[in-house]
Structure 1
Amino acid sequence: MTLSVAGSRLVDSAGTPVRLRGVGLGGWLNMENFITGYPANESAMRAAVREVLGEDRAELFFDRLLTSFFGPDDAALLAGLGINCVRIPVNYHHLESDDRPFEIIEHGFRHLDRVIGLLAGYGIYSVIDLHALPGAQNQHWHSDNPTHIAAFWQHRHFQDRAVHLWEVMADRYRDNPWVAGYNPINEPGDSSGRVVGPFYDRLVKAVRAVDPKHVLFLDGNTYSTDFSIFREVYENTVFVCHDYALAGFAHGGPYPGHTRGEWVDRAQLERSFERRTAFQRETGTPIWVGEFGPVYTGVPEVDQQRYRILRDQLEIFDSYEAGWSLWTYKDVGLQGLVSAGEPYMSRFGDFIVKKGRLGADRWGSTMEESATELAPLHRLMETEFPSWDPYPWGARYQIDDLIRHVLIAQALLPEYAELLRGCSDEDLIALADSFALARCVRREPLLDLLAGNLLAENPRGEDSHAEDPHGQNPRGDA
């Protein structure tokens, strides 16, 4: 069933077209602050937790969390929805240590191997996504970046390590037909625009030398929006766009309606999609939207508008035969199909509310939190440096990044870790198990929307592998 590119489509080994449609497994092997409720970046969070719990008990907690976060019941649920692909973000820290570069941590593959196998058992493909690279390939928390500098593009050492990691991974999965392919760099942010293209040339050559068969899924520069950096159309390659709708952000306005001065309706969504997929359509390569999806607010009338955004996007993707990967599967209530239950939410619920009040997470922030306090700084910068327009999204975003999403977020780290102080081993296991599907809360309208879209085309689940091969309830309901 190994996939390959045939013109504008992916096909299996029998030549049958396969449109990959599924979810991203965000917050798992690459933890993110808004997904599991901590502040700042993953490495800083883990260090703060180790300070409180000690090395061994921190490892107990995190390993149990990784085990509980995705298991057989999760695979069954996704299969029942009609999903045929899961994009799996990975942090390089699982596979290599900064103090021992180029030495592969074999033990670090255990959860990735486990979940690829679970998904394969349900006929679901995996796309392996290196979401955090040595030195950080973009400016934000989701590359495990504690600063606002993407040092990956400034140091050949980091690039060498990334190539080596992908040579190892390509060798490991080269004969696995249920690995759809490799997504080597999530959302690169090369501010110069001069390094990323040549680096892709080098990386593609290195991976192809080890594994010439698997599909490469390559993100454009500037967070998968700029494809001008590609100097050639590589063989057996999908060029991946991300397509978040402006009205679906936390600060998004009504839909249809105005968001930050721009009218957003279905026609605007389609224009945005066409702009973001122009390179793919011009080159005749497959279209795959590697990330998209609205943020939910808990306000029923607003969330109904968010579901409408998602429904319209899915219909647009269908009309262009585009594959997609919805962000994200599981979290603490912002975007997930399902969200963590008890006792985690009781212990960390007030802290998550405080993070929201301070706007300490970019994803989920309305940009209005702490606005009164920050207004003098914004006025100062606008007055003194009116032409300052830093990469990637300008002065307002840069100031918020530095003050709220770095400074305030890092100040919150000890407070998060202290909430674990005094926990017994049994308490830590119970907290981690709050992310097990049996304890999660399901976002039923979202589950129904996805199943309606996916199963409508394949009522018996032939292409989507929606039928549970183990004979369980395909939706995984109790």
Structure 2
Amino acid sequence: MTRSFLTVQGEHITLDGKPIILKGAGLGGWMNMENFITGYPGHEYQVRAALRSVLGEEKYEYFFDKFLEYFFTEEDAAFFASLGLNCIRLPVNYRHFEDDDNPRVFKRAGLKHLDRVIDLCAKHGIYTVIDLHAAPGGQNLDWHADAGNNQALFWVHKDFQDRTVLIWEELARHYRDNPWVAGYNPLNEPTDEAQVRLPVFYQRIEAAIRAVDPNHILFLDGNTFGRDFSAFGPPLPNTVYACHDYSNYGFPNPPEPFVGSDAQIAFHERHFARKVEYMREHGLPVWNGEFGPVYQSAKDDPNFEATNEQRYAVLETQLSIYARTNASWSIWLYKDIGFQGMVYVGDDTPYIRLLAPFLAKKRALAADAWGVDDTPVRHLFEPMEKWLIDAAPTIEKRYPPGFRAHKHLFRQVRNTLLSEELCHEFASYFEDKSLEELDALAQSFAFSNCKQRGKLNAILQADGAREVV
């Protein structure tokens, strides 16, 4: 029996005309690695280069192939489905499908693990959304776009856009007959400072994809990290517009303790309403492609359990808002080394045991950008921040809105310059490892070696049982 494709009808994503809400998580850290997810510093391409230098080509290829294999297996798919969740967002890095020194030549080998996971998910009744998390040139200025330069050059050089279109044409051609692929998310969290270039690119990518695949939904992120749709024109057909809805209350140093007051709930309602105003105005479905708190451990805070209870309450508040509006959602994220994931690599695994000293150092330096508590190093940066503001006051209004001087400063110094240099130290931990040892390190990410974040999963499972209202 042939399965139907998901389609957009009015305010709903539908299957055979019946509304369906997509609920799930992002598989970050897998085909698009991120430093806080798996513990390395800096950008993915930098640490891969450092590891290739230390391991040599054969061991390098072996380790990453095994890493991609163990990171998501049938055990993961079965567990995910057991929670009543029905969709996994699959972030991918363009480097799996194209080499910078051989552009416009599609690497079919990059489909190996993507095909495998899509098929595993389908077997367990789970839809997938393919998300280009890192595009050539960097579609945003953050580490997860893997450009390494704190600039979104995707918007400056048309050649990067041309290459991205070619990659999506190949992906769409390959998956056009697969109804378990819910759709395509062409760019994660774009940051187009000029605003007008993003809608133009979306029109171009929509035409290119649908020339080879007329069936799949497009999931289009808003500008400025999925927050801004103000420059968007009329909606494209069979398209879901995607916001990202992180709460400051779910991260270190929140505005105040979260107690679920009327004012705090109203704050979250206002922020979400602003992000989905475009969708509501045009009578469209809503997909919140990323949200979710980070969590503390005893390494971070002696009162971590109380802190985490507040963050679970933030999550429940957000989910209740989405439920009232029939919004689909994809929490960030499924698996990591203990920071945010639904499941996480255990402390007793070879990977964590090997890297424990480095992870402690990286935490003390606040080397990552995501969810970091920068209190231990803030005194070093405050004089520089004041100097920057005094010398160039406009830095407080520098794009993106809300970053201000302190965020621009630590992104450039800690998260780029410092972290880039730390890649060599990270790679040194892998020196002289045998194939058997590398296999054990990669296998640390297997589901059987992971712990489950029980309360998080219980909250998600409870919401997954909710029907369309």
Aligned to 2:300: none
Q: Is the 8 A contact 1:254 1:305 kept in 2?
A: no
1:409 aligns with one of 401, 413, 419: 419
The alpha carbon displacement at 1:154 in A equals: 0.5
1:398-444 deviation per Cα after TM superposition (whole angstroms, max 9, x unaligned)? 11110110011112111100011121111110000000000001111
1:176-197 deviation per Cα after TM superposition (whole angstroms, max 9, x unaligned)? 0000000000000112223212
Q: Is the 8 A contact 1:41 1:144 kept in 2?
A: yes
Aligned to 2:306: 301
Distance (whole Å) between structure 1 residues aligned to residue 36 and residue 226 of structure 2: 21
The alpha carbon displacement at 1:86 in A equals: 0.3
Q: Is the 8 A contact 1:255 1:306 kept in 2?
A: no
Distance (whole Å) between structure 2 residues aligned to residue 20 and residue 26 of structure 1: 18
Q: Is the 8 A contact 2:259 2:310 kept in 1?
A: no
Matched, 1:326 2:336: no
Distance (whole Å) between structure 2 residues aligned to residue 352 and residue 270 of structure 1: 36
The equivalences for 1:54-453 within 5 A come to 54-256=56-258, 265-298=264-297, 299-341=304-346, 342-388=349-395, 389-392=397-400, 393-453=403-463
1:203-239 deviation per Cα after TM superposition (whole angstroms, max 9, x unaligned)? 1111111111110000011111111232221000000
1:294 is paired with a residue of what secondary structure? Answer: coil
Show structure 1 runs of 4+ deviating over 3 A. Answer: none
1:133-173 deviation per Cα after TM superposition (whole angstroms, max 9, x unaligned)? 00000001101121111110010110000011111111111
1:247-285 deviation per Cα after TM superposition (whole angstroms, max 9, x unaligned)? 112332544269xxxx97222111111111111111100
Q: Is the 8 A contact 2:130 2:184 kept in 1?
A: yes
The alpha carbon displacement at 1:457 in A equals: 4.8
Distance (whole Å) between structure 2 residues aligned to residue 453 and residue 157 of structure 1: 43
Q: Is the 8 A contact 2:292 2:331 kept in 1?
A: yes
The count of residues paired between Structure 1 and Structure 2 equals: 454
2:24 is paired with a residue of what secondary structure? Answer: strand
Q: Is the 8 A contact 1:255 1:309 kept in 2?
A: no
Distance (whole Å) between structure 1 residues aligned to residue 253 and residue 362 of structure 2: 16
Root-mean-square deviation (Å) = 1.6
Change (3 A) 1:444 1:328: same
Distance (whole Å) between structure 2 residues aligned to residue 274 and residue 106 of structure 1: 41
The TM-score normalised by the length of structure 1 is 0.93
The TM-score normalised by the length of structure 2 is 0.94
The alpha carbon displacement at 1:387 in A equals: 2.6
Matched, 1:6 2:9: yes
The alpha carbon displacement at 1:452 in A equals: 1.8
Distance (whole Å) between structure 1 residues aligned to residue 180 and residue 456 of structure 2: 26
Shifted more, 20-29 versus 265-274: the winner is 265-274
1:265 is paired with a residue of what secondary structure? Answer: helix
Q: Which runs of 5+ in 1 are unaligned?
A: 459-478
Question: For residue 390 of structure 2, what is the amino acid of its counterpart?
Answer: T
The alpha carbon displacement at 1:397 in A equals: 0.9
Q: Which runs of 5+ in 2 are unaligned?
A: 298-303
Q: Is the 8 A contact 1:247 1:264 kept in 2?
A: no
Q: Is the 8 A contact 1:250 1:363 kept in 2?
A: no
2:464 aligns with one of 447, 454, 460: 454
1:234 is paired with a residue of what secondary structure? Answer: coil
The alpha carbon displacement at 1:27 in A equals: 0.4
2:67 is paired with a residue of what secondary structure? Answer: helix
1:251 is paired with a residue of what secondary structure? Answer: coil
Distance (whole Å) between structure 1 residues aligned to residue 254 and residue 209 of structure 2: 40
Distance (whole Å) between structure 1 residues aligned to residue 373 and residue 415 of structure 2: 13
Distance (whole Å) between structure 2 residues aligned to residue 192 and residue 11 of structure 1: 34
Identity of aligned residues (%): 46
The equivalences for 1:39-54 within 5 A come to 39-54=41-56
Distance (whole Å) between structure 1 residues aligned to residue 19 and residue 54 of structure 2: 51
